[in-house]
Amino acid sequence: MRLLHLKLMKFWIVALLFFIPSHSFAQRWRYCLLVAPESYPLRWGEREPPNADMVAMPPGLDTSRTIPTSPRCYKVGKSGFWLSYSVEDAGLVGGLFVVVWDEITGETVWQRYYYPVWREGVVSLDGLVLPSYITVLGFQVVWLGYGSMFTRFTVFVVLDAPKPPMSPAWVSLLRYSCRWARGTSNLDDAAQAITFGVFFQRPGFAYPRDTASHWLNGTTFMLKALLDEWNAGRWTDGNCADVSCLTMLALCSVGLDFSVRQLTGTLLPPPPYCGRNCPPPWEDGPIGFHFHTHDICSIGSDPTVDWTYKWWAWGWHQVCVLTGAPDPPSNDAGIWDPTAAQKEDLNGNGYRNPPAHHPNHLWWQKDYWQKSHTQVPGAWLGLVNEPIQGANDPQLYDSGTWKCGVSAGSWQP
């Protein structure tokens, strides 16, 4: 009987605390912040200099900030989260409902209801473990008091700490790279998914007739200007330097350490001594020493349609490689090349995707450049159709293996 009496007393105490009004009846959030042992810093990617563009820490809602809601970036499988919050409400206690969902698929990842809780405090998000794969999570926190109100913020889940020059990673780019690589949990799958993601981005890059770079200011990639165009629904011209630099930045943003590499090889003399009427009508001249590619489907076109495959006359080509990969002509470096899709892989099987080194489709450096066709004697696979390349091809060209800088400055290509 005494135990029942004590329980009833506790119930009425809590009820009174809930219904006794405070001095202020305005209901609003003061802050709602996600706390965890380790997170990666982020940059908005909206303005220069970089130190004026950093995302505030920790993530969540803080009404004292100029930009009150801040996203955050964590490694896959992270746990040990807490939520620190404070609200203004007429009652002293209320309920807190926390929902975490996958922003790409809409699937609920975790949810928990806390009641009763004080208007200010810290709750442990027990059982919340971030997915083991790359994705974007949405956090919604609902306060249920005299009325109800909610706040939302975003968490990017990546494979590892973002790598330079995407360290800190840009929020504006992570919204693309995490979507391209969503669901992948290792380097091979993530690198392939991002290479495919860049190639199939709609609207995205379209390979230009002039074959020139449009988004590099010297060695600095003008990332904000490019993403502004895509976000506005506009296509952008971009050659292999543009495409590979953007791909490298996306790969680095999810924690993969990639660089770009310029390749060339044995070249043909300028027309008319090269043996073809070149450049082809879809490529603006003039042209000097060069090689002829196989029929490839340049970025911005549909690789499932035969008529989109055409040959090009190039003097060099830029691709993505793992940072530290062996220099050419070694065949021990994988190649990721979203500039164009190839009809066949290096085994002569149907492919129709951009080369992306993966256990299921190996694109080794020397073979990617040119490889004897095992099923069609006298024919070649890979990028270069003619001339026949030498034992020391491909070779590094000009800048060799490098990483571009990145800028949020204005740019008119």
Instruction: Please classify residue 234 by burial: count the beta carbons closer than 10 Å to its beta carbon, then call 0-12 exposed, 13-18 middle and 19+ buried.
Output: exposed
Q: Which two tokens stand for residue 3?
A: 């135990």
pLDDT of residue 20 exceeding 50: no
* Alpha carbons 54 and 63: distance in angstroms, whole number: 17
Q: Is residue 231 part of a domain?
A: yes
Do 368 and 390 have their domain in common?
Answer: yes
Of 158, 179, 211, which residue constitutes the final position of a domain?
A: 158
Q: Is residue 204 part of a domain?
A: yes
Q: Which two tokens stand for residue 98?
A: 């926390």
Q: Are 379 and 373 in contact (CB under 8 A)?
A: yes
Give how many domains the chain has, as a whole number: 2
Q: Look up residue 389 and give its amino acid.
A: Q
pLDDT of residue 257 exceeding 70: yes
Do 141 and 237 have their domain in common?
Answer: no
pLDDT of residue 24 exceeding 60: no
pLDDT of residue 63 exceeding 70: yes
Q: Is residue 339 part of a domain?
A: yes
Tokens 């505030």: give the residue: 56
Of 114, 134, 158, which residue constitutes the final position of a domain?
A: 158
pLDDT of residue 78 exceeding 70: yes
pLDDT of residue 74 exceeding 60: yes
Do 246 and 360 have their domain in common?
Answer: yes
Q: What is the pLDDT of residue 281?
A: 87
Do 317 and 276 have their domain in common?
Answer: yes
Do 131 and 96 have their domain in common?
Answer: yes
* Alpha carbons 139 and 141: distance in angstroms, whole number: 7
pLDDT of residue 14 exceeding 70: no
pLDDT tens digit string along 165-185? 999 999 999 999 999 999 999
Do 263 and 371 have their domain in common?
Answer: yes
Cβ atoms within 10 A of the Cβ of 22, count? 13
Q: What is the pLDDT of residue 25?
A: 57
Please state, rounded to an integer, the average pLDDT across all residues of the chain. 92
Do 129 and 185 have their domain in common?
Answer: no
Q: Is residue 164 part of a domain?
A: no
* Alpha carbons 182 and 70: distance in angstroms, whole number: 21
Q: What is the pLDDT of residue 377?
A: 86
Do 205 and 312 have their domain in common?
Answer: yes
pLDDT of residue 15 exceeding 60: no
Do 127 and 256 have their domain in common?
Answer: no
* Alpha carbons 143 and 149: distance in angstroms, whole number: 5
Of 158, 179, 200, which residue constitutes the final position of a domain?
A: 158
Q: Is residue 260 part of a domain?
A: yes
Q: Is residue 384 part of a domain?
A: yes
* Alpha carbons 404 and 393: distance in angstroms, whole number: 25
What's the pTM value of the predicted model, to 2 decimals? 0.92
Q: What is the pLDDT of residue 285?
A: 75
* Overall average pLDDT of the 211-216 stretch: 96
**Domain boundaries, position 374:** 169-407
Do 116 and 179 have their domain in common?
Answer: no
